[in-house]
Amino acid sequence: MKGAGCRRVFAALRLSRARGAVLLRGKKLAKGAADALRVQPSEVPARATALLESAKKMEKEIADLRRRVAMAVRCCEMTA
């Protein structure tokens, strides 16, 4: 095999290797995320969503507590 046919075969092989590398990288990322979240790789999206919702809820709670503290400080300053 010579010429363009050979180049096409080598190009296809390079593309196949590149796809394999991308898939392997994706699997490693999924495994790392699953290990960090202590769940199976298939459960990562649901766990991540739950954590984001929990973080939003906690941020709202912190903002509410800060408002309460600010009101209490103002109240103490007025009575002093």
| DSSP conformation class of 1 | -
Residue 1 pLDDT greater than 90, yes or no: no
Residue 33 pLDDT greater than 80, yes or no: yes
Residue 52 pLDDT greater than 60, yes or no: yes
Mean pLDDT of 61-68: 97
Residue 40 pLDDT greater than 60, yes or no: yes
Domain range list for the chain: 1-38
Q: Within 10 Å of residue 30's Cβ, how many Cβ atoms?
A: 14
**pLDDT at position 55:** 98
H helix runs in 1-80, sequence order: 4-37, 44-79
Is residue 44 a contact partner of residue 34, using CB atoms and an 8 Å limit?
yes
